[in-house]
Amino acid sequence: MKEVRRRRTAAVVVDRAAIRRQRQLKGLDQAGLAELAGVSPGYVSHIEAGRRPTVSPGVFVRICDALGVEDRTELMAA
């Protein structure tokens, strides 16, 4: 049987506090951000709680777009 290898994509280390702060400034709850970014509310909760310190580049871009953040480095961990 042929072994199937999964491609690993780069991950973005997020600044959970910055995401929470931007979400609150936009007047969104976690469910609202999740809907705009195309992820589940639980996913957003895990990001903000630090249980998911990294996200895929695609999800990161969608979160930035949903929050209206143009300088994406603002939401990346230092």
Using one digit for the tens of pLDDT, what is the confidence trace for 9-58?
Answer: 789 999 999 999 999 999 999 999 999 999 999 999 999 999 999 999 99
**Is residue 2 scored above 90 in pLDDT?**
no
Largest CA distance in the chain: 53
User: pLDDT at position 1, please?
Assistant: 61
User: pLDDT at position 6, please?
Assistant: 67
| E-assigned strand segments in the chain | 12-13, 54-55
User: pLDDT at position 57, please?
Assistant: 96
- Those residues with Cβ within 8 angstroms of residue 75's Cβ, 6 or more apart along the chain or in another chain: 14, 15, 18, 19, 22, 60, 63, 64, 67, 69
pTM for this predicted structure:
0.87
Q: Are 20 and 50 in contact (CB under 8 A)?
A: no
Which two three-digit tokens encode residue 43? 């996913």
Query: What type of residue sits at position 45?
Result: S
What superfamily does domain 12-75 belong to in CATH? Answer: lambda repressor-like DNA-binding domains (1.10.260.40)
